[in-house]
Amino acid sequence: MAKRILVAVIFVPLLIWTMLFLPAIVWTLVVTFIAAVAAFEFLRAMKVTDRRLIGWTVAAAALIPLLCWAENTVGELEHYNYIYFPVLLLLIFPFFHSIGTFGRENEVPVAHLMSCYFAGVVLPLALAALVELKCMEHGRYLVLLAVLMAFVTDAGAYFVGVFFGKHRGITAVSPNKSLEGYIGGFVTGVLFALAYGLVVQAVEQVEVSLPGLAVCGFLGALATEMGDLAFSYVKRQMGVKDYGHLLPGHGGMLDRFDSMIFCGPVILLCAAVLPML
């Protein structure tokens, strides 16, 4: 518990400082690192051992957030979908390699190949939403909203579940979580979004839409809880306790950022279609 608290005390302020005050490229490099490590951790959980598949997948996962930043900020790259390059990388090389192993002792299972596409394309594309948010108008506040939404919703669901949870076993994936905890997460998400909007309005003197933020808070909380359940489901299926041990007391990157993989794209969609900031 002491290690968990110490890591949170150091890690969370650094993330907030990076999002609020440092250039978008610095935040992009942080997301790139998270995506690459998360891709590796996912493949390890899925028992993928082929080094070539792992290398191509991690490379694609690292490229996607960087290309997302470039397409938003580098004039010459705007309006060109260079982000398809790493997708093409994972379509051609792993299939070519896997076909070559067919019928041999080192044959690559199709499930491992599909795991590479999920880890190398889906995960980093979802995390790249945090880069897209940072590059938008009022981007530092939008990306901070997405990241804090995931943390606060998780915390709200946990504490409400601990103190008020009675109806447990809602899902077999997380049998200790209660209906009260899930509801607490939704309520916490909405209240946080509203409070966050009022703080930004006071600090930046910009008009905010509280109804839009309330909708965003509910959808963000829903996505956060779904992300947590989704990656818990993978761990239960594969018999894995934690995805990694990079963050003492918290597990791996995927353990810590699983909720944001779902929450980030939802907040990005809300920012695009709802009046918020």
pLDDT given at position 71: 85
Q: Which domains does the chain have, with CATH numbers?
A: 22-135 (no CATH), 138-277 (1.10.357)
Alpha-carbon torsion (152, 157, 161, 165), positive or negative: positive
For the stretch 207-220, pLDDT in tens is 889 999 999 999 99
- Comparing CA positions, the residue from 182, 262, 187 lying closest to residue 230 is 262
Q: How far apart are CA 41 and CA 245, in angstroms?
A: 10
pLDDT given at position 249: 56
pLDDT given at position 41: 95
pLDDT given at position 6: 60
Low-confidence ranges of the chain (pLDDT < 50): none
Token digits for 187? 């309520």
Q: How far apart are CA 234 and CA 122, in angstroms?
A: 15
pTM higher than 0.75 for the full model?
yes
